Amino acid sequence: MSELLQAVLESDEKSDLRQFASELRAAGNTYLLRNDILNSFSDYCDRHQKDNEFHASSLSKLIYYTQEIILEDESLCWIIRPEIARQEVYRLWSDLSIEPMTVQQLLDVRDRFVNHYHPQEGDVLELDFGPFYDYSPAIKDSKNIGKGVQFLNRFLSSKLFQAPDQWLSALFTFLSLHRYNGTQLLINERISNQRQLSGQIKKAITFVSKLNGDKPYDEFRFDLQVMGFEPGWGNTASRVKETLDILDDLIDSPDHQALEAFISRIPMIFRIVLVSVHGWFGQEGVLGRPDTGGQVVYVLDQARNLEKQLKEDQELAGLTGLNVEPKVIILSRLIPNSDGTRCNERLEKVHGTENSWILRVPFREFNPNLTQNWISRFEIWPYLETYAIDSEKELLAEFQGKPDLIIGNYSDGNLVAFLLARRLNVTQCIIAHALEKSKYLFSNLYWQDLDDKYHFSLQFTADLIAMNSANFIISSTYQEIVGRPDSVGQYESYANFTMPDLYHVVNGIELFSPKFNVVPPGVNENVYFPHTRNEDRIQSDRDRIEELLFTLDDPANIFGKLDDPNKRPLFSMARLDRIKNLTGLAECFGRSKDLQERCNLILVAGKLRVEETEDNEERDEIVKLYRTIDEYNLHGKIRWLGVRLPKTDSGEIYRVIADRQGVFVQPALFEAFGLTILEAMISGLPTFGTQFGGPLEIIQDRVNGFYINPTNLDETADKLLEFANNCDRDPNYWYKISQQAIERVYSTYTWKIHTTRLLSLARIYGFWNYASKENREDLMRYVETLFYLIYKPRAKTLLEQHVHR
Ligand code: UDP
Ligand code: LCN
């Protein structure tokens, strides 16, 4: 039984538990989420005049770890999350007897709650991915979740090293596999078995040891070739020696770190596809549009940096003479009616690269009124399978061959990545960015009511398909996978859930699987850099942005005139959707007269007029922002810029705010990661980030930024005020936080760290898939069944609705 429950039942807090349960029942709320539970319990403590000691009681502890309580006729269903990634469920009867419940029983309770439980009509389909993970090792300790590759490497190495013959033969064949455009790499047919390999390595080491370390590879290439070695070992004599030494050690005394170091050097990735389907995917005039935010920034930066890293790796590997040209293709949708963007162009070069491209493939024309236009990410499901088929042809033509790695982005891109990787037999990696399931409360329980608008039945099925089929998953934070002690992670929310009348998921994803790896993104350091780096700033841009932010009179694009433009600016920039909560920030500012006296509020957000947007959430937020400004009479204290800025301007904006010792506030109700946080911090802006989501991992509270609870407006205003007061008291305070913010980004969130890690992961997973002959075919067949029997018919029905629209 749950230790937490048992402790209560064995103490004299038993009567409190009974009383609390009975008061919950009397209050009439039959489904309580964690926040409701905490509030109800706090009311209970007030009503019963519980003293401070009670907050350390076993009951308080139980309440803290309780995620949900569902009230049924005679009992309460109690869902406890005693630690990260673990769940226990109990039924608590009024006489305080307790029964453990299975996941199946819990899902039935939830179905009953929404009146969709019909056992007389037979059982609902149960999805269980658990058995497919039996073949792979599982991480034991939840704190190691997200460090998959390290774990896998250690585990599989030890297994492999126990059978040296098998291991050497796997290594030998793996080394003979690699080619680029028909040119053999690493070893040639002069080395015909593993025993020879070991001998030739020693010979080659003796040979290169005698050379000058700087001697270019091309000058001794033919000597090595005679010994059986082709390009790929290094660009200079010392680099070749280093690589050969690692391999020599590996053969003599295998060790997982040496294995990782060696595999990470193997030139096996040249062509990469990044799939990002739905948005306005472009380089100008697309940011701030609905559906197109950080993901576009992330993928473009990633593409640029991957190309750079591939080039660096290839140069180091000594492939320069072979005309090796790495190529990165961002696969997106071609939108014929492109609203002034370049999204109607088939091919667009990624700025600042030599061979990275945006390849846009159109949806087939089922209903031109729809498919010629932008389609919301919630509606695009019916087009993805044919899109993948069409894209495959285009990719093969563009690459003149198969890619080596396919990376999906967001639910739609991840599904396409699955379809492509399956057809082409290529390593598949996925990146969620944000999983909608946990963003929309009760999105699975009430899916039938929401399906007309959101089509979650398709999205969540696509998510299950992608996360299970992927060879590896990268996440931006640890909590994206398994949350925090007090909150469920985004992936964790797929572990079990009900889609009433459609299916029950009893084990949707193995959180302890080594496929999960935390690899956070970076920030474009050419655009976003510390405001103190004056030599890289352009004075005319700075003046123009200053005017734009604080004084320019341009009613078409800017709302509000500041009474005193010299007050400390509180700045925020985001798309105007509900979750970003800029309206909440305006209200927080509105409620604090003190804050208004000390600061101005500057918002860069969406559009200024409802007529200009087709997005419902954006429309509602525009109305709400005007209402808040009027309600708190913020005229003269706020400026709202409804502009879509070129990238370079967005960098200078943060710096200009920093010049005036301003701060950045990110008040989202939930933020999966939060690229604006990185942008603000690297610019040197003290940053106040939401405590709900990624910012909690990026910022270290009071060291290099501050946490805020955006649902507590007065507390947030107080924190901002306290900061302003501290700055007044100590003129160095602002600079101290600013400097620490800059250091935090440079030390932990750079694209260099990201791409080195990502490429190393791709190689290592590639190697292990090969060496361990991992048999995933059973899993893949199950996933396919889900695609054909659940996803596809539902997508077809939606398509029919679209065609007749
Ligand atoms: N952005 C922008 N103009 C806007 C709104 C956003 O340039 O009007 C950029 C911002 O600089 C950041 C990205 O869009 O690079 C937003 O990414 P984030 O991860 O913060 O949030 P998302 O929009 O992906 O939820
Ligand atoms: C989506 C989000 O919601 C943001 O929090 C992330 O920063 C962005 O994608 C990039 O991953």
Give pLDDT, residue 252.
85
State the DSSP H helix or E strand holding residue 206, giving kind and residue range, or none if neither.
helix 194-209
Residues in the chain with pLDDT < 70?
Answer: 1, 772-774
Give pLDDT, residue 54.
84
Q: Using CA atoms, how far apart are residues 673 and 696, in angstroms rounded to an integer? A: 9
Give pLDDT, residue 617.
84
Query: Would you give the distance in Å from CA 47 to the centre of its chain?
Result: 43
Max Cα-Cα span within the chain: 87
Q: Using CA atoms, how far apart are residues 633 and 539, in angstroms rounded to an integer? A: 35
Instruction: Quickly list DSSP for 243-299.
Output: HHHHHHHHHHS--HHHHHHHHTTS----EEEEE--SS---SSS-TTSTT-SHHHHHH
Query: Which one of 278, 295, 687 would you pick to mutate in the ligand 2 pocket, going by the greatest count of ligand atoms within 8 A of its CB?
Result: 295
User: Considering Cα of 487, then 491, then 495, then 498, what sign does the dihedral take?
Assistant: positive
In this structure, which ligand is nearest to the CA of 677?
1
Q: Using CA atoms, how far apart are residues 545 and 555, in angstroms rounded to an integer? A: 16
176-182-184 Cα angle (round to 5) = 30
Nearest Cα to Cα of residue 665 among 734, 722, 716: 716
Calculate the alpha carbon distances from 777 to 461, 696, 763, 768 in Å. 19, 39, 21, 15
Nearest Cα to Cα of residue 260 among 279, 275, 246: 246
Phi then psi for 432, rounded to 5 degrees?
-80, -35
Q: Whose CA is nearest to atom 16 of ligand 1?
A: 294
Provide the terminal-to-terminal Cα distance of the chain, rounded to the nearest Å.
55
Residue 754 in contact with ligand 2 by CB distance below 6 A:
no
Residue 652 in contact with ligand 1 by CB distance below 6 A:
no
Å from CA of 283 to ligand 1 middle: 13
Q: Can you list the alpha helix ranges (DSSP code H) found in 124-181?
A: 148-161, 164-176
Nearest Cα to Cα of residue 373 among 413, 336, 345, 332: 336
Å from CA of 131 to ligand 1 middle: 40
Give pLDDT, residue 805.
84
Residue 431 alpha carbon, nearest atom of ligand 2: 11
Å from CA of 694 to ligand 2 middle: 9
State the DSSP H helix or E strand holding residue 32, giving kind and residue range, or none if neither.
strand 31-33
Residue 287 in contact with ligand 1 by CB distance below 6 A:
yes
Residue 297 alpha carbon, nearest atom of ligand 2: 10
Q: Using CA atoms, how far apart are residues 657 and 569, in angstroms rounded to an integer? A: 7
**CB atoms closer than 10 angstroms to residue 75:** 19
Residue 305 in contact with ligand 1 by CB distance below 6 A:
no
CB 142 within 8 A of CB 84: yes
759-434-127 Cα angle (round to 5) = 95
State the DSSP H helix or E strand holding residue 559, giving kind and residue range, or none if neither.
strand 558-559
In this structure, which ligand is nearest to the CA of 438?
2
CB 488 within 8 A of CB 67: yes
CB 61 within 8 A of CB 54: no
Q: What is residue 124's DSSP assignment? A: P
Residue 289 in contact with ligand 1 by CB distance below 6 A:
no
Assigned superfamily of 534-749: Glycogen Phosphorylase B; (3.40.50.2000)
Å from CA of 433 to ligand 1 middle: 13
CB 309 within 8 A of CB 303: no
Give me the long-range contacts of 137-140 (CB less than 8 A, separation at least 24).
137/514, 138/510, 138/512, 138/513, 138/514, 139/512, 139/513, 139/514, 140/512
Residue 524 in contact with ligand 1 by CB distance below 6 A:
no
Q: Using CA atoms, how far apart are residues 5 and 90, in angstroms rounded to an integer? A: 9
**CB atoms closer than 10 angstroms to residue 182:** 6
Residue 673 alpha carbon, nearest atom of ligand 1: 19
Å from CA of 706 to ligand 1 middle: 20
Nearest Cα to Cα of residue 353 among 327, 317, 332: 327
CB 517 within 8 A of CB 144: no
Contacts with 784 (C-beta within 8 Å, 6 or more apart), sequence order: 422
Å from CA of 752 to ligand 1 middle: 21
Residue 489 in contact with ligand 2 by CB distance below 6 A:
no
State the DSSP H helix or E strand holding residue 427, giving kind and residue range, or none if neither.
strand 427-431
Calculate the alpha carbon distances from 164 to 15, 155, 256 in Å. 63, 15, 14
In this structure, which ligand is nearest to the CA of 435?
2
CB 148 within 8 A of CB 138: no
Residue 693 alpha carbon, nearest atom of ligand 2: 5
Contacts with 275 (C-beta within 8 Å, 6 or more apart), sequence order: 330, 331, 332, 406, 407, 408, 409, 413, 414, 416, 417, 420
Contacts with 773 (C-beta within 8 Å, 6 or more apart), sequence order: none
In this structure, which ligand is nearest to the CA of 439?
2
In the numeric block, which tokens belong to residue 193?
A: 């078995």
Q: Whose CA is nearest to atom 11 of ligand 1?
A: 676
Residue 295 in contact with ligand 1 by CB distance below 6 A:
yes
Return the CATH fold of 150-177+187-229+233-263.
Four Helix Bundle (Hemerythrin (Met), subunit A) (1.20.120)
pTM: 0.96
**CB atoms closer than 10 angstroms to residue 503:** 20
DSSP, collapsed to helix, strand or coil, labels residue 461 as helix
Q: Using CA atoms, how far apart are residues 119 and 135, in angstroms rounded to an integer? A: 34
User: Is 1.10.10.10 the CATH classification of the domain at 3-101?
Assistant: no
Å from CA of 294 to ligand 1 middle: 5
750-641-599 Cα angle (round to 5) = 80
In the numeric block, which tokens belong to residue 668?
A: 């989202």
Q: Using CA atoms, how far apart are residues 369 and 507, in angstroms rounded to an integer? A: 40
The 497-499 sheet, strands edge to edge: 126-128, 503-507, 497-499
**What does the pLDDT look like over 275-305, one tens digit per residue?**
999 989 999 989 878 788 899 999 999 999 9
Give pLDDT, residue 439.
82
Q: Using CA atoms, how far apart are residues 153 and 147, in angstroms rounded to an integer? A: 10
The 327-334 sheet, strands edge to edge: 347-349, 356-362, 327-334, 271-275, 405-409, 427-431, 472-475, 516-518
266-270-273 Cα angle (round to 5) = 130
Residue 698 in contact with ligand 1 by CB distance below 6 A:
no
Strand 179-180 to 183-184 pairing: antiparallel
Q: Using CA atoms, how far apart are residues 710 and 178, in angstroms rounded to an integer? A: 52
In this structure, which ligand is nearest to the CA of 434?
2
In this structure, which ligand is nearest to the CA of 671?
2
User: Considering Cα of 177, then 180, then 181, then 183, what sign does the dihedral take?
Assistant: negative
Nearest Cα to Cα of residue 511 among 482, 536, 537, 550: 482
Strand 31-33 to 66-71 pairing: antiparallel
Domain extents in the chain: 3-101, 150-177+187-229+233-263, 534-749
In the numeric block, which tokens belong to residue 310?
A: 């591939």
Residue 695 in contact with ligand 2 by CB distance below 6 A:
no
Residue 749 in contact with ligand 2 by CB distance below 6 A:
no
Residue 675 in contact with ligand 2 by CB distance below 6 A:
yes
In the numeric block, which tokens belong to residue 119?
A: 């056992």
**Residue found under tokens 């399906």:** 451
